[in-house]
Structure 1
Amino acid sequence: MAPEDTYPELQEEEIDVEAELEKLILEDSEAEAGTSSGETAAEPSPDPGEALKQLQHELEVVRQQLKEKEDAYLRLYADFENYRRRTQREKEEFSQKERQKFVLEILPVVDSFERAQQQLKLETDRERELHNSYQSVYRLLVECLKKMGVSRMKSVGQPFDPNLHEAIARQPSPDYPEDVVAVEYQPGYKLGDLVIRHAMVAVSAGSPSSEPSPPAQATIEAGPENTPASPQNPQPS
């Protein structure tokens, strides 16, 4: 709403004052015209100049009141906007915390499904049937988490980051350089851009050191005097 539409009663009062002012100016003009033509007034009228000054003063007072009320309206509107933004932000933060709490309760169930899938060997029809049942429920859980904005973090092969990973071991690895995640024991998850569960990992300590080779033994260069005598072949009898 525009500020000038906020207080119609003051605007009407200002219009009345301006109309009265125009009326006095018109009467003053007519009076001057009558005097110049020799006409005499039947009765004395108030000084138009004083009345004009009074109306101008009243008009200024009305305008000042209108300005003050406009300022008050703008302050009230600004306070309301700040309140609306603050409540909206608090509502979003509360919703985010509730979703985070729900997801943290669901993730252990997802972990259990993944461990069960790893343990099934699928050697019998019963095991394959269980595997298919697990897969159906597991896919439903994963799709539900995706719709809520949950994503699984990739850890193995990534540089160790304490903001994303929780290191529970450090071990040599022939496959990954030092300070790179070599093993993931429990996956980490994000809700949007917020890390809600760190990945539990083992960090590579670099390639395992090779065993030192035994020291080389000194060899004696063979010479005529150091050449061992070859055994005598037995002569046939």
Structure 2
Amino acid sequence: MTGVFKDMTHKHHNDKKQDNDWEEAPADIPAEEAAAETGAPDAECPAEAGELEKLRGELAEAQEKLIYLQADYQNYRKRTSKDIADARIYGAANALEPFITVYDYLTMARQAADKSDKIEQIRQGLSMILDQYMKAFEESGVSRVETVGKPFDPSVHEAVAREASDEFPEGIIVKEWTGGYRFGERLLRPAKVVVSSGPADAKEA
């Protein structure tokens, strides 16, 4: 009788333990949640993988274009620097060429003066040289500032004296001491002039 009671007690204990194990067993967890809880990475989506590969290709292409652009820019800078240097040389050469011709005329005039005592011939030769000089100036973009008979303009004239004049009213230039010159719109040198102070009779009155 005692043996039967022990068997029943042991069976009851085992049944109770199984019940407790059943209550403590966790419920089934979806695979996605289980993967998230364990930190397992999801399989890469084919669409996302294709997009990533496309972006990588575009990035590589952009980097290659950037390298070509940098090389082109360096070549452009070199060409531009050379073009500027060449333009300066050619510009200076074109500006100086007319004065070589004038120098030739001056040389011939001096040689003629050494061989002749005719003042008129020398004067004509010098006049021709001056005309050639003015032509060279004009071809280089240089022009003279107008003076005699023009109103005094302090922006292009420098008054060195004033004198009475019956021919020119007050404020008008009566004489030019040294010529003034422009290069385009830029003043190279102002003209030094004598300005009329008006008629002498008006001063005395």
TM-score by length of 1: 0.45
Which sections of structure 1, spanning at least 5 residues, go unmatched?
Answer: 1-48, 114-124, 213-237
Matches within 5 A, 1:152-231: 152-208=144-200, 209=202, 211-212=204-205
- Following the alignment from structure 2 to structure 1, what is the Cα–Cα distance between the partners of residues 169 and 137? 33
- Following the alignment from structure 2 to structure 1, what is the Cα–Cα distance between the partners of residues 150 and 68? 57
Question: In the alignment, what sits opposite 1:18?
Answer: none
SS in 2 for 1:134: helix
2:129 is aligned with 1:137? yes
Amino acid at match of 2:167: D
Aligned Cα root-mean-square deviation (Å): 4.2
2:72 is aligned with 1:88? no
SS in 1 for 2:45: helix
CA offsets 1:65-105 (integer angstroms, 9 cap, x no match): 43455567667767876783897399659957xx69x98xx
Structure-2 change in CA distance of 1:51 and 1:79 (3 Å): same
- Following the alignment from structure 2 to structure 1, what is the Cα–Cα distance between the partners of residues 89 and 151? 31
SS in 2 for 1:135: helix
Structure-2 change in CA distance of 1:200 and 1:210 (3 Å): closer
Amino acid at match of 1:197: R
- Following the alignment from structure 2 to structure 1, what is the Cα–Cα distance between the partners of residues 86 and 174? 40
How much has 1:147 moved relative to structure 2? 1.9
Which sections of structure 2, spanning at least 5 residues, go unmatched?
Answer: 1-43, 110-116
Question: In the alignment, what sits opposite 2:28?
Answer: none
Identity of aligned residues (%): 23
Q: How many residues align?
A: 144
Amino acid at match of 1:193: E
Structure-2 change in CA distance of 1:61 and 1:177 (3 Å): farther
Structure number with the higher helix fraction is 2
- Following the alignment from structure 1 to structure 2, what is the Cα–Cα distance between the partners of residues 179 and 135? 31
TM-score by length of 2: 0.50
Which of 32, 40, 56 is matched with 1:61 structurally? Answer: 56
Larger Rg: 2
Amino acid at match of 2:126: Y
- Following the alignment from structure 1 to structure 2, what is the Cα–Cα distance between the partners of residues 76 and 207? 74
Structure-2 change in CA distance of 1:189 and 1:58 (3 Å): same
Structure-2 change in CA distance of 1:183 and 1:132 (3 Å): closer
